[in-house]
Amino acid sequence: MDPEALSTLLLDVVRPAAERRREGAGGELAASDIVLERPKNRDHGDWASNIALKLAKGLGANPRELATEIADALTAAPGVASVEVAGPGFINIRLDAAAAGALAKVIVEAGAAFGTNESQHGNTINLEFVSANPTGPLHIGHTRWAALGDAVARLLLASGATLVREFYINDAGAQMERFGRSVLAAATGGEAPEDGYAGAYIDDLGRRVLAARPDIADLDADEAVIVARDLAYEYQLGEIQASLARFNVHFDVWFSERVLHAQPEDGGPSLVDEAVDRLRAQGHVFDQDDAVWVRTTAFGDDKDRVIRRSNGEYTYFAADAAYYLNKGDRGFAHKIYLLGADHHGYVHRLKALAGAAGDDPERDIEVLIGQLVSVNGARLSKRAGNIIELDDLRDWLGTDALRYSLARYPADSPLTLDPEILQKRTNDNPVFYVQYAHARTHNVARNAADSGVDRSAFAPELLTHETESALLGALQEFPRIVAFAAEVREPHRVARYLEELAGLYHRWYDNCRVIPLGDDTIDDVHRTRLWLNDATGQVLRNGLDLLGVSAPDRM
């Protein structure tokens, strides 16, 4: 019996108890009102509920008396071994072995679908993350957001959301012109601009540009910069995309900032032009000192924002506005921005922008800020010179170790990774600990097959060992963990759950044999334990996949 089934069973008991105290009260209740928690002390049962405490005041009832009535009725329900009332009205429920153990078969038969849920169904989400300038390699900060953003996307999709992963390419503005001049200088042997980009990667891009356009030195100066800029942009963006793909991160949309500024072929307004008019129509645009402003202070911003300067040039806020509106035009009711530690100022600005656009800043937009991450002993990139590159980290520590470690901590906590631990093949290394548990489930299954143990029988009432009860209890939690992690955008909850599950599995492995000793006969308890073994492997595999981490069969 899983938590959802138990909630429904408990609801069937609670409704008449509520109805007896107040007419119509039973009909007001739904399964979502039944909150189940795992007791910290397993001696208190498999599940606990505070439903009697929650309802007592509104029903004019004594909470402990209400809890006792509910407990007496629930005790007679199939699959329930015992129910006790604790404290002022907590209800502790213990399932019988057969009801608890039945979950193992459910998990094996569900396979990769176990843990998926519909808690985010109906939410249409645009999730933007990484969004690096295409003027250089991805660095360690981008690495953290790549791991976290992709894990958040996987959680939301597993919870029923309609979602796209989007990378916003900052390919317009002054930084692109500096990039073009820097690459042109490298291609032609000219003097690098003082405010330009430096590093071996610029020299590499210069050589590639020169190979593609041997005549670049003969072009008009302005045209040469444009040619160098656009070719180098294409090459560098390709490298960014390849780096992310090797890191097991893929985007559905690569959105170019240039689209926002482009003039349509029919001569109509650009998306940035339209953004000003649309915000003005909402009543939040005003003119002052020959400039155009958005009254973002009406929505909590610390100051009003200039969207078009007095000289007619648009500010970067104008691109932000056009981009936000474009996301809505593409059908995304909810927008999530994952930004780096240096973007704290964007939180109020973007939320105010949502309000000015007519949306609800508390409902339609989220801005998540990630803190800094460092790696002990990491060297700066030989190509870029002043950063630690994603590719270097991946080559050094491996995709799995990096992705798991970056997803294992809340995004808003500064993080220092210890490469010595991440390269260990011991239990001190969290990703190894979880992956080893998964590999062990496969090893048990292989040895079982060699010994003649199969899943031809399933007798869940035989799973009575305390380690089996604990393991089944943890397996039951997985769908709830996935749904909650998706709701709060916190993949680290899945990682910490997997580590707990791995520990429970190792303890079960030490106490309960799938393969009989010596000449002992194979019986149904061994076959049923194989179901439990395979169910644990499936949940470990599903959880690792949500973090973008592989689940090896052998280690």
**Which of 246, 261, 281 is the endpoint of a domain?**
246
Overall number of domains in the chain: 4
* 371, burial (CB in 10 Å: exposed 0-12, middle 13-18, buried 19+): middle
State mean pLDDT over 46-63: 91
Q: Are residues 226 and 271 in the same domain?
A: no
Choice among 40-49, 113-122, 128-137 with the minimum mean pLDDT = 40-49
**Is residue 527 pLDDT above 80, yes or no?**
yes
Predicted local distance difference test score (pLDDT) of residue 302: 87
Distance, in Å, from the CA atom of 57 to the CA atom of 188, rounded to the nearest integer, reads 81
Q: What percent of the chain lies above the pLDDT cut of 90?
A: 79
**Is residue 381 pLDDT above 70, yes or no?**
no
Range picked from 113-122, 265-274, 381-390 for highest mean pLDDT = 113-122
CB 528 within 8 A of CB 460: yes
State mean pLDDT over 460-468: 94
CATH label of the domain that carries residue 47: 3.30.1360.70
Predicted local distance difference test score (pLDDT) of residue 390: 93
Q: Are residues 26 and 86 in the same domain?
A: yes
Q: What percent of the chain lies above the pLDDT cut of 70?
A: 99
Confidence of residue 382 (pLDDT cuts 50, 70, 90): low
At 254-313, the pLDDT tens digits run 999 999 999 988 888 999 999 999 999 999 999 999 999 999 999 988 899 999 999 999
Residue 167 sits at φ, ψ, to 5 deg, of -115, 120
Q: Read off the pTM.
A: 0.90
- Where are any strands of DSSP class E within 41-79? 47-49
Q: Look at residue 29 and tell me if it is in a domain.
A: yes
For residue 221, the cross-strand partners are none
Q: Are residues 257 and 347 in the same domain?
A: yes
Q: Are residues 151 and 276 in the same domain?
A: yes
Q: Tell how strand 80-86 and strand 90-95 pair up.
A: antiparallel
Q: Look at residue 113 and tell me if it is in a domain.
A: no
Confidence of residue 380 (pLDDT cuts 50, 70, 90): low
Distance, in Å, from the CA atom of 221 to the CA atom of 117, rounded to the nearest integer, reads 58
Q: Look at residue 116 and tell me if it is in a domain.
A: no
Q: Look at residue 402 and tell me if it is in a domain.
A: no
**Which of 48, 78, 95 is the endpoint of a domain?**
95
Predicted local distance difference test score (pLDDT) of residue 37: 86
Confidence of residue 346 (pLDDT cuts 50, 70, 90): confident
Predicted local distance difference test score (pLDDT) of residue 374: 87
**Is residue 501 pLDDT above 70, yes or no?**
yes
Distance, in Å, from the CA atom of 107 to the CA atom of 229, rounded to the nearest integer, reads 53
Distance, in Å, from the CA atom of 255 to the CA atom of 131, rounded to the nearest integer, reads 9
Distance, in Å, from the CA atom of 378 to the CA atom of 346, rounded to the nearest integer, reads 30
* Average of per-residue pLDDT values in the chain: 93
Q: Look at residue 406 and tell me if it is in a domain.
A: no
Q: Are residues 164 and 210 in the same domain?
A: no
Q: Are residues 141 and 267 in the same domain?
A: yes
Q: Are residues 458 and 531 in the same domain?
A: yes
Residue 141: domain span: 124-169+251-371
Q: Are residues 356 and 263 in the same domain?
A: yes
Q: Using the 8-state DSSP alphabet, how is residue 358 labeled? A: T
More confident residue, 192 or 537: 537
Predicted local distance difference test score (pLDDT) of residue 483: 96
Q: Look at residue 419 and tell me if it is in a domain.
A: no
Task: Identify which of 308, 278, 284, 287 has the alpha carbon closest to the alpha carbon of residue 296.
Answer: 284
Residues in Cβ contact with 301 at an 8 Å cutoff, skipping those fewer than 6 apart: 348, 349, 351, 352
CATH label of the domain that carries residue 505: 1.10.730.10
Q: Are residues 232 and 297 in the same domain?
A: no
Q: Look at residue 415 and tell me if it is in a domain.
A: no
**Which of 354, 371, 388 is the endpoint of a domain?**
371
Percent helix, strand and coil across the chain, each rounded to 5?
55, 10, 35
Q: Are residues 430 and 463 in the same domain?
A: yes
Q: Are residues 154 and 179 in the same domain?
A: no
Q: Are residues 221 and 307 in the same domain?
A: no
CATH label of the domain that carries residue 157: 3.40.50.620
Q: Look at residue 65 and tell me if it is in a domain.
A: yes
